[in-house]
Amino acid sequence: MDHSTEPIGVDEFRASATTWLAANKATAPRDYGAICPPDLIGAGIEWQQRLFAAGLAGIHWPTAHGGRGLTASHQAAWMEECAKAGVPPVLNMVGLVLAGGSIMRFGTPEQQLQHLLPTLQGTRVWCQLFSEPGAGSDLGSLSTRAERDGDRFIINGQKVWCSGGRYSDWGILMARTDPDATKHEGISFFLMPMDLPGIDIRPLQQITGEAEFDEVFFTDVELPADQLLGPLHGGWGVGMAVLTSERGHIGASVIGLERRLESMARLAEGRDLNPLQRQALAGLLSRGNAFKAMGQRQGPVASTAASLMKLGITEMMFDAAMLRGDLVGAAAMLDGPDAHGMLAAPGGRIAGGTSQVQRNIIGERLLGLPREPKPSGP
């Protein structure tokens, strides 16, 4: 593999990445998607370390931050080749896309120096501390408080659905710093060490039986003030930039989707499908191809159009899991991959902003439809 920071064309880079993956993919954990499950975290960290050593971490990050200094198109080529090889392109999206991206964009030079290289090297693992019991889709209602006290903020409150909270070293946190401001204006964005006194992390069990996310309670946690990211009370802008990147990342898995559709088509081989099942399968395959074309047109840059891909792909994955269960028949109700697929599929329609919320964004921001009425006023 070429470690150099010399310019390299996308095709040449893709070819060298493919060669490297062929030689190394046996050492990778299975492709777990955006978030590393707790039982694979050791393997995920080792994989990230190997990627860094091979010059395949932070492909489009500036060289000053330990990256390769290439373009978003090189990064997209890497993600496609990883999807074809069935390996994760990064340890986790929260660290390598959300935390890394927001620190590069909004961080001070000191924050960039402190966090970016360890994140690329896989020695700093991140979680996302946004959702609360009373604030999910309506994130602006969050009530976790951060009160300034000299050179610290005192944090009190509760977060929920924090994927990988237990194994993370740091978290990206949104908390209310001005309770008197209108709701989106009194929020700030912080970088939070997860080992500070006063942090209590409790696993939450999902419908699949696994416990991939946690509740996180903060009681008088003393956070150094230099971990404020971006402007005080200006955290909403930072958070929205982060969420757009998250949707872009979720929607970017076109090749992964294509592989799923291929395996779907293979599942039909040798089965006597009824006309409705045949129609559903054909519909899924053509939707898959339409989203692939849209993804290629949209390119690797996250934007509000990322909502189209996020909505389309997660809804299709849900439908694919249901059809798979239908084709397998009663056996799909037994413990095993088919049942697991059906139980896990609804989560994709919720994580990173629900399907209904994506439809609102598409309606209002892409189609220019009137804004939905707000019960609490404008």
Ligand X SMILES: Cc1cc2nc3c(=O)[nH]c(=O)nc-3n(C[C@H](O)[C@H](O)[C@H](O)COP(=O)(O)OP(=O)(O)OC[C@H]3O[C@@H](n4cnc5c(N)ncnc54)[C@H](O)[C@@H]3O)c2cc1C
Shortest separation between residue 280's beta carbon and ligand X, angstroms: 24
Q: For residue 162, which amino acid is it?
A: C
Among 217, 162, 224, 148, residue whose Cα is nearest residue 193: 224
Round to whole Å and give the CA distance between 181 and 185.
Answer: 6
Q: Strands 170-176 and 126-129, how do they pair? A: parallel
Could you tell me which stretch among 145-153, 190-198, 320-328, 353-361 binds ligand X (CB under 6 A)? 353-361
Are the CB atoms for 185 and 178 separated by under 8 Å? Answer: yes
Count of residues making up the chain:
378
Is 185 annotated as catalytic? no
Residue nearer to ligand X on the CB measure, 13 or 213: 213
Q: Check binding of 347 to ligand X (CB under 6 A).
A: yes
Could you tell me which stretch among 60-68, 304-312, 330-338, 354-362 binds ligand X (CB under 6 A)? 354-362
Q: Which one from 147, 246, 315, 364 is the annotated catalytic residue?
A: 246
Shortest separation between residue 199's beta carbon and ligand X, angstroms: 15
Among 149, 139, 124, 116, residue whose Cα is nearest residue 189: 139
Residue nearer to ligand X on the CB measure, 23 or 207: 207
Are the CB atoms for 61 and 120 separated by under 8 Å? Answer: yes
Could you tell me which stretch among 257-265, 304-312, 327-335, 350-358 binds ligand X (CB under 6 A)? 350-358
CB atoms inside a 10 Å sphere around CB 359: 12
Could you tell me which stretch among 18-26, 39-47, 118-126, 355-363 binds ligand X (CB under 6 A)? 355-363
Scan residues 179-238 and list those touching ligand X (CB under 6 A). Answer: 213
CA distances from 14 to 11, 17, 30, 114 (A): 5, 5, 21, 31
User: What are the E-state strand segments in the chain?
Assistant: 126-129, 145-149, 152-163, 170-176, 187-193, 199-204, 213-224, 228-229
Round to whole Å and give the CA distance between 164 and 175.
Answer: 19
Site string for ligand X, 144-183 (x = CB under 6 A): -----------------xxx--------------------
Q: Check binding of 244 to ligand X (CB under 6 A).
A: no
Shortest separation between residue 172's beta carbon and ligand X, angstroms: 9
Q: Check binding of 353 to ligand X (CB under 6 A).
A: yes
Residue nearer to ligand X on the CB measure, 76 or 351: 351
Tell me which residues are annotated as active site.
246
Binding residues vs ligand X (CB under 6 A)? 127-131, 136-137, 161-163, 213, 347, 350-351, 353-354, 356-357, 360
